[in-house]
């Protein structure tokens, strides 16, 4: 898929060039946030000579997956987040051991999916460009293309990540959790040198698409969480009755679960946040102000959310990256070479 096609998918009026410039500045300042030696080795168009069709191949595979099941957009977005928050953005979440002691079996990674989509993209890339494109880069590109498929913004993804060599579920013990307080959430994001604004964008903002299981909201329903509006509480309780099937899936954004937009922030403001970790953001004054800024009644508010989200994704995407001679480029994504 060409850049022109990607840009035409987006419904936003802002310039993708301006997003790219903003993202470059985020990447350029990465020495203040991450290891500069690692971040600076990521490049836009890293595969332009070694595998020119790499990004379009990933884009085509993602488009097919989301066309088949629109829910795959959120699944791929979540996969990138969970990869980056454990051992950095190195594709370690993709590794599968026979004894189920790898990252994907950590409690915090329950329900994480999209592995088949990544494997499909890797198979096609190995056929055309064997041993060139890392699984870690495929995950990052797939997340971007998933956002596009949900009518979100196009943004350039710096590439050149190498794949990690280990995957241990014990390393995933400190992932952000739906039951976390606002202070714990802030602490976990700051450990990754992500700001409070990044927390709003990458946690609540990313929930503009996708679903969750009743399992993750039962405790707040049973406790009759006062941050849920009375009417919406009845809606949630009807979908997730006490003693009911905890595996039932419900939308995180009740109004537009398959479309990237700012509606999720409106829901949180109005007491219609589905999971606790979204709702608690509005109880913190600083977070509340960030959320309100994306709901301002002006034409640029939606564009600001999209552009800020894109920058936050790129910022997250350089956490703990392995480059140069670090790690490897796996031949298959679920096992090291």
User: What pLDDT digit, counting tens, does each position of 222-238 carry?
Assistant: 999 999 999 999 999 99
Judge whether 82 and 93 are in contact, CB under 8 Å: yes
Q: Give the pLDDT confidence of 243-281 residue by residue, as tens digits.
A: 999 999 999 998 899 999 999 999 999 999 999 999 999
Domains of the chain: 53-317 (1.10.420.10)
Q: How many other β-carbons are positioned within 10 Å of the β-carbon of residue 253?
A: 28
Judge whether 156 and 27 are in contact, CB under 8 Å: no
**pLDDT at 308 (0 to 100):** 96
3-state SS assignment for residue 328: strand
**pLDDT at 302 (0 to 100):** 59
Closest CA to 73 of 108, 18, 117, 129: 117
Tokens of 123: 């198979």
pTM of full prediction above 0.85: yes
Tokens of 218: 């039962």
3-state SS assignment for residue 336: coil
Judge whether 156 and 44 are in contact, CB under 8 Å: yes
Backbone angles phi, psi at 116, to 5 degrees: -65, -35
CA distance 303 to 143: 19
Q: How many other β-carbons are positioned within 10 Å of the β-carbon of residue 172?
A: 23
Backbone angles phi, psi at 159, to 5 degrees: -125, 175
Q: How many other β-carbons are positioned within 10 Å of the β-carbon of residue 76?
A: 26
Q: Is 207 marked as binding a ligand?
A: yes
Q: Is 177 marked as binding a ligand?
A: no
Q: Exposed e or buried b for every residue in 298-315, given b needs 16+ CB within 10 A?
A: eeebbbbbbbbbbbbbbb
**97 given a catalytic annotation:** no
Q: Is 86 marked as binding a ligand?
A: yes
Q: Is 97 marked as binding a ligand?
A: no
Low-confidence ranges of the chain (pLDDT < 70): 1-40, 298-303
Judge whether 108 and 24 are in contact, CB under 8 Å: no
Q: Is 83 marked as binding a ligand?
A: yes
**pLDDT at 301 (0 to 100):** 59
Q: Is 253 marked as binding a ligand?
A: yes
Catalytic residue among 12, 80, 82, 97: 82
Judge whether 231 and 245 are in contact, CB under 8 Å: no
Closest CA to 312 of 199, 187, 152: 199
Q: Is 176 marked as binding a ligand?
A: yes
């Amino acid at each position: 898929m060409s850049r022109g096609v990607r840009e035409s998918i987006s419904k936003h009026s802002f310039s993708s060039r301006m997003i790219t410039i903003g993202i470059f500045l985020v990447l350029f300042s990465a020495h203040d946030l991450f290891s500069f030696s690692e971040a600076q080795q990521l490049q836009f168009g890293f595969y332009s000579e070694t595998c020119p069709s790499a990004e379009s191949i990933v884009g085509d595979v993602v488009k097919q997956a989301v066309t088949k099941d629109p829910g795959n957009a959120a699944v791929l977005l979540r996969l990138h987040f969970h990869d980056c928050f454990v051992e950095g953005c190195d594709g370690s979440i993709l590794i599968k051991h026979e004894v189920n002691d790898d990252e994907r079996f950590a409690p915090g990674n329950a329900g994480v999916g999209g592995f088949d989509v990544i494997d499909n993209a890797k198979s096609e890339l190995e056929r055309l460009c064997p041993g060139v494109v890392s699984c870690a880069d495929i995950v990052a590109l797939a997340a971007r293309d998933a956002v596009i498929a949900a009518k979100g913004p196009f943004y350039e993804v710096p590439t050149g990540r190498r794949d990690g060599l280990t995957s241990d579920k014990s390393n995933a013990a400190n992932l952000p959790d739906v039951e976390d307080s606002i202070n714990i959430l802030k602490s976990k994001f700051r450990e990754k040198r992500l700001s409070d604004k990044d927390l709003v964008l990458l946690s609540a903002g990313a929930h503009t698409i996708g679903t969750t299981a009743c399992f993750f909201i039962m405790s707040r329903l049973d406790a009759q969480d006062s941050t849920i509006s009375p009417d919406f509480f009845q809606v949630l309780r009807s979908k997730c009755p006490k003693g009911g099937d905890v595996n039932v899936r419900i939308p995180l954004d009740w109004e537009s679960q398959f479309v990237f937009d700012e509606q999720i922030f409106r829901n949180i403001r109005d007491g219609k946040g589905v999971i606790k970790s979204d709702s608690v953001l509005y109880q913190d004054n600083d977070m509340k102000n960030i959320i309100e800024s994306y709901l301002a009644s002006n034409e640029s508010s939606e564009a600001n959310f999209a552009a800020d989200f894109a920058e936050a994704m790129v910022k997250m995407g350089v956490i703990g990256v392995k480059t140069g001679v670090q790690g490897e480029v796996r031949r298959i994504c679920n096992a090291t070479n």
